[in-house]
């Protein structure tokens, strides 16, 4: 039998532009680079020790993900966060994730459920240590696993493509009072519903969890406008109301 000369897994190296874009993406998501911050090519190139060409390419990558906007003759800046964008993205995400949860109840393998349970346990450990960033990163992994468990590759791709546009919002939302404990509790409820193969309940838990996060974030924006560029006249009266959620939901 002929031996395989390529037995070691090949890892595709990141291009400099991809490395820079991921570095900046984390800084934006974690709030180190605030909305409206100007990104100066020259300064970034000097700070990161790279040429200005990959910096420009990184800006284009981030622009596609909705994190940066490139203004002609002015350069790049971190995009603002608007209530309308939050409503649009969270409404879309609520339907897509709830669909993934419903499909997971029918299609999830035992290995999927075990992986989701392990992630949930690790999230609990991070919550107890108040390790917020690690909790957030595990939360992203949990949702990747949920999308995989749906068994629908196209849905998984759509959720992954939408993901980067939601990370900044999700990070802020998780940091609000009570959201870590609430999110973890909903994850455990969701795992139990999927294990029970209850598609309707899985769908409901996932949708309400995300709708609740949307409401919490919108309320935070109204209560703390100083953290955002502009609310554009958005007020508390426009925040969606969650009704009839019974024992399943508390915002």
Residues of the chain with CATH 1.10.10.10: 16-78
String of DSSP letters for 18-75:
HHHHHHHHHHHHTTSS-TT-EE-HHHHHHHHT--HHHHHHHHHHHHHTTSEEEETTTE
| Per-residue pLDDT at 124 exceeds 50 | yes
Contacts of 22 (CB under 8 A, 6+ apart): 14
**Residue pLDDT, tens place only, 203-228:** 999 999 999 888 888 888 777 776 56
Q: Each residue of 213-244: b (16+ CB within 10 Å) or e?
A: bbbbbbebbbeeeeebeeeeebeeeebeeeee
Q: Over the stretch 53-94, which tens digit does the pLDDT of each residue have?
A: 999 999 999 998 888 999 888 889 998 888 888 888 899 999
CA separation for the pair 241, 251 (Å, rounded): 10
- Report the top-level CATH class of 16-78: mainly alpha
Angle between helices 16-29 and 52-64 (to 10 degrees): 50
Give the CA angle between residues 175, 171, 33 to the nearest 5°: 110
The more confident residue out of 240 and 220 is 220
At residue 237, the pLDDT reads: 46
CATH fold, domain 83-248, is: 1.20.120
In this prediction the pTM is 0.78
> 153 in helix, strand or coil?
helix
pLDDT tier at 166 (50, 70, 90 boundaries)? confident
Whether the predicted pLDDT of 235 surpasses 50: no
Residue intervals in the chain for CATH 1.20.120.530: 83-248
């Amino acid at each position: 039998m002929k031996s395989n000369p390529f037995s070691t897994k090949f890892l595709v190296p990141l291009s400099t532009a991809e490395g820079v874009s991921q570095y900046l993406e984390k800084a934006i998501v974690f709030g180190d680079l605030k909305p409206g911050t100007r990104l100066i090519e020259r300064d970034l190139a000097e700070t990161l020790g790279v040429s200005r060409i990959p910096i420009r390419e990184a800006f284009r990558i981030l622009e596609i993900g909705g994190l940066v906007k490139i203004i002609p003759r002015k350069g790049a800046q971190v995009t603002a966060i608007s209530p309308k964008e939050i409503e649009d993205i969270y409404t879309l995400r609520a339907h897509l994730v709830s669909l993934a949860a419903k499909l997971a109840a029918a299609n999830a393998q035992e290995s999927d459920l075990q992986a989701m349970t392990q992630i949930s346990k690790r999230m609990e450990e991070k919550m107890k240590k108040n390790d917020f960033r690690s909790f957030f990163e595990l939360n992203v992994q949990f949702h990747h696993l949920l999308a995989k468990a749906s068994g629908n590759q196209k849905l998984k791709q759509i959720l992954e493509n939408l993901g980067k546009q939601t990370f900044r919002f999700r990070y802020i939302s998780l940091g609000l009072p009570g959201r870590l404990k609430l999110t973890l509790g909903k994850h455990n409820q969701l795992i139990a519903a999927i294990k029970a193969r209850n598609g309707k309940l899985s769908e409901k838990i996932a949708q309400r969890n995300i709708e609740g996060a949307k409401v919490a974030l919108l309320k935070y924006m109204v209560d703390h406008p100083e953290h955002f560029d502009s609310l554009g006249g958005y007020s508390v009266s426009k925040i969606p109301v969650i009704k009839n959620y019974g024992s399943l939901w508390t915002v």
